[in-house]
Amino acid sequence: MNSGIVRIEPPDFARMTGWTHALASKYSGMLQVSVIGRSVLGRSIYAFRIGSRRRQVLYCGGVHGREWITSLLLMYFAEELLDACANSRVICEMDIGRLLESGGLTVIPALNPDGIEISVNGADRAALGDYLDGELLERCRSAEFCRRWKSNARGVDINRNFDAGWDDMRAIAMERGIHGPSSEGWTGEFPVSEPETRAVVELCEETRFRHMVAFHSQGEVIYWNYRRFTPPRAHIMARMLALSSDYSLSEPDRTASSAGLKDWFMERFNAPAFTVEVGSGECPVPLSGFRFMYNRLREMLILGAAM
């Protein structure tokens, strides 16, 4: 397992920042940390580059606030990779140093740090009154309501804000009675309206990743296609990811079928992109299930970076 900087604790912004600085200083030769953007409330969105600058793969977690277990998963994995490189260790029979020399990995552990803060620490830490009002703000007084929050701090669902089938997703939101800011499901006023969405879009335009994986929770399932934009190799890659984790493959239902990061990535670059729903049970997935989940996903995480 890893060397002990990243702990199995809720990854709120204070912890994430502390772990990020500690990893950057311990592994300064191997890890390059950058701030690729800022959330609505000004929190840094970090990206970790590990290994070669060529043939990069992107892992993105923490898109939905209550799915913060994905941020912990990616931080924990990043530490294990760095530790393996530093000590020439093999993981899952893979020489990690060589793997990362032939193609690098970029990790965005938390794309939506404000949403995570709301889910972990409640509305007080999120200055929601600056952006939200009326009934929604009133509902945010409930700790349980906040715990299940998915959107960013102004009530836009980041994974409904990408420029891929956005109009269709907007129509679906309207059908579901979501006409404005909400704890989940609101597309925003126009595609890529949110700073969190822009941060990852700009990074992808700049880096041209060979494929990407977005981590959500929960369901133990992998989504791998998007309309006619799915490249042929995506299916076989998805099957390998599924085999290594014993997760199942699925196709999204209509209400989750567009305007997401994986959808935009496939349409824009005609390259494979996957959504992996980690863990089972209720969301937020409790920390007590973390080790089991991590052990089951470890090989898939290595394989996703190696393919």
Query: Which residues in this chain contact Zn ion in the complex, by CB under 5 A?
Result: 64, 67, 216
Terminal Cα distance for the chain, rounded: 23
Q: Which residue number, 218 or 245, has a Cβ lying nearer to Zn ion? A: 218
The encoded tokens of residue 120 equal: 């972990």
CA distance 201 to 89: 34
* Least CB distance to Zn ion at residue 214 (A): 8
Q: Which is nearer to Zn ion, 56 or 161 (CB)?
A: 161
Residue 205 CB, nearest approach to Zn ion (Å): 23
Q: Is 184 left (phi over 0), alpha (psi -120 to 50) or beta?
A: beta
Measured from the CB atom, is 43 or 150 closer to Zn ion?
Answer: 150
- Joined tokens for residue 23: 């990893």
Distance of closest approach, residue 118 Cβ to Zn ion, in angstroms: 14
Nearest distance in Å: CB 160, Zn ion: 10
Pick between residue 122 and residue 185 the one whose CB is nearest to Zn ion: 185
| Shortest distance in whole angstroms from residue 86 CB to Zn ion | 32
Q: What is the DSSP letter of 189?
A: S
Q: What angle do CA 15, 18, 39 make, to 5 degrees?
A: 70
Helix (H) or strand (E) holding 79: helix 69-86
Q: In terms of CB distance, is 79 or 117 closer to Zn ion?
A: 117
Comparing CB distances to Zn ion, the nearer of 244 and 275 is 275
Residue 11 Cβ vs Zn ion, minimum distance, rounded to whole Å: 15
Question: Burial letters for 153-184: b for 16+ Cβ neighbours within 10 Å, e otherwise?
Answer: bbbbbbbbbbebbbeebbebbeeeebeebbbb
261 SS3 class: helix
Between 67 and 220, whose beta carbon lies closer to Zn ion? 67
| CB-based closest residue to Zn ion | 216
- Closest approach, Cβ 26 to Zn ion, in A, equals 31
What is the C-alpha to C-alpha distance for residues 293 and 270, in angstroms, rounded to an integer?
Answer: 30
Tell how far CA 118 is from the center of its chain.
16
